[in-house]
Amino acid sequence: MGGRRIILHLDMDAFFASVEQAAHPGWRGKPVVICGEGRSVVATASYEARKLGVKSGQPAGEAKKLAPEAVFVPGNHGKYVWSSLNILEILGKYSPLVEPHSIDEAFADLSGNPEASADPAACANRIKREIREKFGLTCSIGIGSNKLLAKVASDRQKPDGLTVVPADETGWLHALPVEALPGLGEKTAAYLHESGITMIGDLALMQEAVLVQWFGRNGSVLRRMARGEDDAPVQPEFSPLKSISQEWTMPRDTDEAELISGALLWLARLVGRRLRAEGQEGRTVAVKIRYPDFRTVTRAQTVQGYVCLDDEICKIAREVFFRNWRGEKIRLLGVKVSNLSGNSPACTQAGLWPDARERRRDLARAVDRLRDKYGEDIVRPGSNLALFKKV
Ligand code: TTP
Ligand code: MG
């Protein structure tokens, strides 16, 4: 296939509504309408409600008239962010290159995945099955040789669809109506129709100069899209931060409690400072102890609330150290904070929030809200990291 990429685009079906239906079995198969948080506008509607004419952006009052028997639910953004994270985590098992595109959409570059190379549809079906079995949610997937084609494809068979663009990708694209192009506004579509352009193939034949005359710079973009051209890479925004640590070899091997105490404070300060700079807090503080013979042990303590202040970290580090120390000389000390508040791929919700820092903060808030609501455990299931694991 000569370097042809395998790009997957995943879009959750009726996302907010499906999350609520998964959480409330009694609502499954029924019309469910999710209203924007604190707003009387429909955020999304289950496919059952869509059949009755309910759609995103409609005033809730209108939706009530169309579907009086529907369950109306105020949206809970934190819950959906959490769910979104879980989906990204699953995609992450199939490729290190996962790019969140919105709260319920993501791209993954599966080019390096042997299963996907052998049979992209089988791989996509496995992803769909995993999401359904784990979270009771369905999604629609498109696969093509670039992000544009994959995105167009994922929208072809909704809900619970899978569309693998056939070998003649351009032919396939050109036979679709112009509305199939992502981001094509109603006005643009209307204008194209008036000009006799209804299919993407018609658009691809247009001279760039004409399209630029009609739509300005967007004209060029439109033409490139119509030709199925897109070489943008799938870009994971950043790898989630798992922990922050610092270690220090003592100037000389020492068994002086005061020196050790001081070193722990110093390390806690360095770690705390970096934590705060990242807008992070952690629940687990670990201390690494290396003896003069290079024997190394790590002892950790996980606390109830999150910590990020020097004193908090230092206090826990000292407790851990002195609980485990039997007076031997010490060669090296390390302090590490993990179980971070924003350490999950949710931080990479591109398009949802304007920048990484803000996204992390929003995520932390969302996670905080979840914790308030469902208790500590919901936030980090199975997160007992083996700290300073010796490999
Ligand atoms: P979409 O993917 O556009 O919609 P959807 O997932 O609900 O339905 P589909 O099966 O057609 O993909 O948007 C994802 C989520 O974003 C949606 O569940 C709710 C939220 N949303 C809003 O809050 N307001 C809006 O106007 C839209 C379009 C979406
Ligand atoms: Mg969706």
| Ligand 1 pocket mutation, candidates 76, 104, 162, 353, criterion most atoms within 8 A of CB | 104
Neighbouring residues of 239: CB distance < 8 A, sequence distance ≥ 6: none
Distance (Å, whole) CA 157 – CA 165: 12
Distance (Å, whole) CA 114 – CA 164: 17
Which atom of ligand 1 lies at the shortest distance from residue 57's CA? 26
Distance (Å, whole) CA 106 – CA 101: 5
Q: Which amino acid is at 238?
A: F
pTM listed for this prediction: 0.66
The tens digit of pLDDT for each residue in 305-326 reads 888 888 899 999 999 999 999 9
Q: Is the CB of 20 under 6 A from ligand 1?
A: no
Structure tokens at 76: 């809970």
Which atom of ligand 1 lies at the shortest distance from residue 36's CA? 23
| 242-257 burial: b if 16+ Cβ within 10 Å, else e | ebbbbeeebeeebeee
Q: Is the pLDDT of residue 63 over 50?
A: yes
SS3 readout for the chain: CCCCCCEEEEEECCHHHHHHHHHCHHHCCCCEEEECCCCCEEEEECHHHHCCCCCCCCEHHHHHHHCCCCEEEECCHHHHHHHHHHHHHHHHCCCCCEEEEECCEEEEECCCCHHHHHCHHHHHHHHHHHHHHHHCCCEEEEEECCHHHHHHHHCCCCCCCEEECCCCHHHHHHCCEHHHCCCCCHHHHHHHHHCCCCEHHHHHHCCHHHHHHHHCHHHHHHHHHHCCCCCCCCCCCCCCCCEEEEEEEEEEEECCHHHHHHHHHHHHHHHHHHHHHCCCCEEEEEEEEECCCCCEEEEEEEEEEEECCHHHHHHHHHHHHHHHCCCCCEEEEEEEEEEECCCCHHHHCECCECCHHHHHHHHHHHHHHHHHHHCHHHCCCCCCCCCCCCC
Distance (Å, whole) CA 10 – CA 340: 27
Q: Is the CB of 159 under 6 A from ligand 1?
A: yes
Distance (Å, whole) CA 87 – CA 9: 12
The tens digit of pLDDT for each residue in 255-284 reads 999 999 999 999 998 898 888 877 788 999
How far, in Å, are 1, 103, 217, 242, 303 from residue 344 at the CA level?
35, 14, 37, 8, 19
- Residue closest via CA to ligand 1's atom 23 equals 43
Q: How far is CA 84 from the centre of its chain?
A: 6
Q: Is the CB of 388 under 6 A from ligand 1?
A: no
Which atom of ligand 1 lies at the shortest distance from residue 75's CA? 23
Distance (Å, whole) CA 20 – CA 35: 12
Residue 239: which pLDDT band, with cuts at 50, 70 and 90? low
The tens digit of pLDDT for each residue in 170-223 reads 999 999 999 999 989 889 999 999 999 999 999 999 999 999 999 998 899 999
- Residue closest via CA to ligand 1's atom 18 equals 15
Name the β-bridge partners of 333: 248, 289
Cα 182 to middle of ligand 2, angstroms: 13
Q: Is the pLDDT of residue 383 over 60?
A: no
In this prediction, residue 78 carries a pLDDT of 79
Cα 55 to middle of ligand 1, angstroms: 9
Q: Is the CB of 103 under 6 A from ligand 1?
A: yes
Cα 287 to middle of ligand 2, angstroms: 44
Distance (Å, whole) CA 255 – CA 329: 4
Q: Among the bound ligands, name the one nearest to the CA of residue 158.
A: 1
Cα 161 to middle of ligand 2, angstroms: 12
User: Could you list the active site residues?
Assistant: 105
- Among 31-35, 77-81, 207-211, the range scoring the smallest mean pLDDT is 77-81
Q: Which amino acid is at 189?
A: A
In this prediction, residue 240 carries a pLDDT of 61
Residue pair 111/117 in contact (Cβ under 8 Å)? The answer is yes
In this prediction, residue 367 carries a pLDDT of 54
- Residue closest via CA to ligand 1's atom 5 equals 14
In this prediction, residue 380 carries a pLDDT of 36
Cα 91 to middle of ligand 2, angstroms: 16
In this prediction, residue 137 carries a pLDDT of 98
Q: Is the CB of 14 under 6 A from ligand 1?
A: yes
